[in-house]
Structures are given as structure tokens and as C-alpha cells.
Amino acid sequence: MIVKRLVCPERVRRTPPHFSWVDHRLVRDGHIERCGPEALALYLLLVTVGDAEGLSYYSDASIGRLLNMDEVLVRSARKELTDSNLVAYRRPLYQVLSLSPGSAERSRPRNGQCLSIGEILQQAMGGEA
């Protein structure tokens, strides 16, 4: 068993009064594997600046400045996120979407491993694998 110790105890992360979070299912359910680095940078920005409902309305120009991307790349990253059902967009409003159990390829193998019938059924019923 690995014993975890703080590397830098004087800088332990605390949840600030105005906070955002990144759902661990982004990695566990394979969403992150379907997006390129620009789309993931945009996702992180939108998660960070969004309100409690995941809403924000930064312009392409503002996003481009913050992420050091031209507006064409911002639009491409946005399309990747909307195609992946991670973000909804209706100009000028972004909404970071919840990661529902069926929103990713839930029954695909992880790291080359096969899923058991039980895991597949559990996922299909909305449970965790």
C-alpha cells in the first residue's frame, strides 16, 4: 500500500469560497482521451470561469487571449467539446455539461483490459464500474 505524504505541506490546496471543480469522470470515463490539448485547455478555462450551473460567456477573442490561441483554433476547440457533449454553446453563452453515465463510451475497454459482463451491466444501469 502506498503511503501518501504531502510534498509541500505549506501549500495544501483548499477549496476557496468561489470554486470550480473538474469531475474525475472526465478521466475515468475516457472523455479526456477524445479531445485534443486545445479543447482540453478550453474546457479547463470554462470549468474555472463558469458559475454554479456551468455558464459563462467569454468571447472568442477573450478566450484566445487567455489561452494564447487564435480565434480559428478557439472555434475548432469549441466544436470538439460540443461534438464530445462536454459543452453546449449558443453564442455568446457556454454551458459546461454534466458528465452523465451514458455520455461517454461507457463499455469500452480500459487500458486494453476487457470489462466483465457485471461491469457492463452495472454501467448500463447507471452505476459505477
With respect to residue 4, please indicate whether it lies within any of the assigned structural domains.
no
Q: What is the pLDDT of residue 6?
A: 80
The pLDDT tens digits of the residues spanning 82-114 come to 999 999 999 999 999 998 665 555 434 455 556
- Among residues 26, 58, 29, 53, the alpha carbon closest in space to that of 42 is found at 58
More confident residue, 102 or 46: 46
Our count of domains for the chain comes to 1
With respect to residue 1, please indicate whether it lies within any of the assigned structural domains.
no
Is the Cβ–Cβ distance between 63 and 45 less than 8 Å?
Answer: yes
Tell me which residue range forms the domain holding 60. Answer: 22-124
With respect to residue 10, please indicate whether it lies within any of the assigned structural domains.
no
With respect to residue 59, please indicate whether it lies within any of the assigned structural domains.
yes
* Phi, psi of 52, rounded to the nearest 5 degrees: -60, -25
| CATH number of the domain where residue 61 is located | 1.10.10.10
